Amino acid sequence: MAGFFDLALANLGSPLILSFILGVAAALARSELSIPEATAKAMSIYLLFAIGFKGGVSVADHGFDPALAKTLFAGIVLSAGLPFVAYALLNVLTGLDRTNAAAVAGHYGSISIVTFVAGTSVAEANGFIAEGFMVAVAAAMEAPAILSALWLIGRSGSNRMDGTLWREILLNGSIVLLVGAFMIGLLTGKDGLAEIEAFIVTPFKGVLCIFLLDMGLVAGRGIRENRDMIRPGLFAFGILMPVIGSCFGAAAAALIGLSVGGTLLLMVLSASASYIAVPAAMRVAVPEADPGIYLTLSLGITFPFNLTIGLPLYLGVARMISGV
Amino acid sequence: MLEMHDAKRVAFIIETPMQNRLTGALEEAGVTGYTILPVLGGSGASGRWSREGQVGRAGGMVQVICIIRPERLEPLLEHTFKLVERHIGVVSVADCQVLRAERF
């Protein structure tokens, strides 16, 4: 237990989390601080490219790992299955109608790539390097949850999912960049990394700090503007569901035999909630669902929870499972 | 004095994820000229929203404006209504006048 508190304190005192907290505090205090839209977009491109590239280099360096296929399969099953757990929990804790509950549930099967990036950073800071293929697992977990959500709404997915929407989901910018950079890293290996290391390794944490500052501003504004909507049941769901999701991720990681870093990242992917891919799909396929509910939950409650308390908690569990 | 011609100005304020679908529907309805404008923010039946701080396209809005001949209004609205009826947004029609009627 003391180990967890040490980890939690170290995490809370890191520049990454303090930057995020600064963003939340500034937004709650109605500061005019803001990161220009184009800058935030450029930083997200940089972070996705860097994390994808480094994952590819790691796979190239260590060779093909048989755990890759198992972890990809586990990720897809988790993404498709967790919305059902979330839906059941929403029914117990909140009075949301079927459509809104299913839409929220879909977000909790999919992933937050920023939480994944922060998780990678925390793992590395504690000396645990995750399997490089976890980047591919992250990409594979984006979409299955959307189908589960549509199934939960009670209508056939084909009614609401057209070819254009499929293309938008499967080829959304984050997935293309992540998988593309992964492939470039895989093809060019350590020699490729050596060529661009000064750009994608050294500045990484600094850029992540500014990006998390922006995410803090976004989360803080979301909390401020939607605080009336955050009822106790919804708040409890936003905190409990990531913990439950992480337990499923931990169980899958233990079955596969992932490293501490890999276990942490699979827990993070299972615990995090989407706020980019799934909301866009829901706006098209389920416009009746209230975006204020699912965006506030995933971005205003679950994202800050995962970043501040979740990451050290998951790392503690990952270390316990691996006996490290 | 330049000759002016009657026209209809149709403005759709619609969620960003629906932008390509709407412009596709406009083209299917024979409207090849339209303008897309970013929207900074606003407030409506679904609450307040702002372009500032959006992490994805899901929460944003855009305005799509087209100017058409009056006789094309009805078929255009029929063609696009199915697309927009369930979504957050506003569809407005206004009378206007244009130069160079052959362009519309």
B64: which strand partners? B12, B36
Q: Does the domain at residues B5-103 carry the CATH identifier 3.30.70.120?
A: yes
pLDDT given for residue B95 in this prediction: 95
Is the Cβ of A93 closer than 8 Å to some Cβ of chain B?
no
Closest CA to B46 of B36, B59, B55: B59
* A304 within some domain: yes
Among A5-14, A81-90, A205-214, the minimum mean pLDDT is found in: A5-14
Crossing angle of the two packed helices A204-225 and A37-62, in degrees rounded to 10: 130
CB contact (8 A) between residue B55 and residue A288: no
* Average pLDDT, rounded, for chain B: 86
The answer to whether the CB of B22 falls within 8 A of the CB of B14 is yes
Amino acid at the residue A193: L
Residues of A with CB below 8 A from B47's CB?
Answer: 225-226, 292
Substitution target from A20, A224, A283 for chain B, most B beta carbons within 10 A: A283
pLDDT given for residue A156 in this prediction: 46
Average of per-residue pLDDT across A303-311: 93
Say whether pLDDT at A64 is over 80: no
Residues of B with CB below 8 A from A225's CB?
Answer: 47-48
Per the structure, the complete domain to which residue A96 belongs is given by 34-322
Domain boundaries, chain B: 5-103
d(CA A132, nearest CA chain B) in Å: 26
ipTM value of the model?
A: 0.70
CB contact (8 A) between residue B58 and residue A37: no
Is the Cβ of A317 closer than 8 Å to some Cβ of chain B?
no
Average of per-residue pLDDT across A35-59: 90
Q: A180 pLDDT band (50/70/90 cuts)?
A: very high
* A22 within some domain: no
Specify the pairing of strand B41-44 against strand B47-50.
antiparallel
The shortest CB-CB distance from A284 to any of B17, B47, B56 is to B17
Is the Cβ of A191 closer than 8 Å to some Cβ of chain B?
no
The shortest CB-CB distance from A280 to any of B17, B50, B88 is to B17
Amino acid at the residue A182: F
Say whether pLDDT at A131 is over 60: yes
Is the Cβ of A215 closer than 8 Å to some Cβ of chain B?
yes
Q: What is the DSSP secondary structure assignment for residue B85, as one 8-state letter? A: T
SS3 of B8, please?
strand
* A1 within some domain: no
Q: What is the DSSP secondary structure assignment for residue B82, as one 8-state letter? A: H
CA–CA dist A205, A211 (Å, integer): 10
The answer to whether the CB of A160 falls within 8 A of the CB of A150 is yes
pLDDT given for residue A13 in this prediction: 85
pLDDT given for residue A80 in this prediction: 96
pLDDT tens-place string over residues A77-96: 999 999 999 999 999 999 89
CB contact (8 A) between residue B56 and residue A40: no
* A86 within some domain: yes
- Please compute Rg for chain A using Cα positions: 19
Average of per-residue pLDDT across B50-67: 76
Number of domains in chain A: 1
CB contact (8 A) between residue A275 and residue B55: yes
Q: B52 pLDDT band (50/70/90 cuts)?
A: low
Residues of B with CB below 8 A from A217's CB?
Answer: 53
pLDDT given for residue A160 in this prediction: 61
- Interfacial residues of B (vs A; Cβ cutoff 8 Å): 15, 17-18, 20-21, 46-48, 50-59, 86-88
CB contact (8 A) between residue A217 and residue B58: no
Q: A206 pLDDT band (50/70/90 cuts)?
A: very high
Average of per-residue pLDDT across A205-226: 89
The answer to whether the CB of A83 falls within 8 A of the CB of A106 is yes
Top-confidence residue, B54 or A185:
A185
Average of per-residue pLDDT across B20-29: 90
Among A175-184, A287-296, B70-79, the minimum mean pLDDT is found in: A287-296
Three-class DSSP labels, chain A: CHHHHHHHHHHHCCHHHHHHHHHHHHHHCCCCCCCCHHHHHHHHHHHHHHHHHHHHHHHHHHCCCCHHHHHHHHHHHHHHHHHHHHHHHHHHHCCCCHHHHHHHHHHHHCCCHHHHHHHHHHHHHCCCCCCCCHHHHHHHCCCHHHHHHHHHHCCCHHHHCCHHHHHHHHCCHHHHHHHHHHHHHHHHHHHHHHHHHHHHCCCHHHHHHHHHHHHHHHHHHHHHHCCCCCCHHHHHHHHHHHHHHHHHHHHHHHHHCCCHHHHHHHHHHHHCCCCCHHHHHHHHHCCCCCHHHHHHHHHHHHHHHHHHHHHHHHHHHHHHHHCC
* A2 within some domain: no
Top-confidence residue, A34 or A154:
A34
The two tokens of residue B104 are 């519309």
CB contact (8 A) between residue B58 and residue A280: yes
pTM of the model: 0.85
CATH number at residue A140: 1.20.1530.20
d(CA A231, nearest CA chain B) in Å: 17
pLDDT given for residue A301 in this prediction: 93
A41 → chain B, closest CA residue: B55
Top-confidence residue, B49 or A323:
A323
Q: B55 pLDDT band (50/70/90 cuts)?
A: low
Top-confidence residue, A1 or B73:
B73
pLDDT tens-place string over residues A246-281: 999 999 999 999 999 999 999 999 999 998 888 888
Q: Out of A276-290, A309-323, B34-48, give the one with best mean pLDDT.
A: A309-323
Among A5-14, A17-26, A58-67, the minimum mean pLDDT is found in: A5-14
Amino acid at the residue A3: G
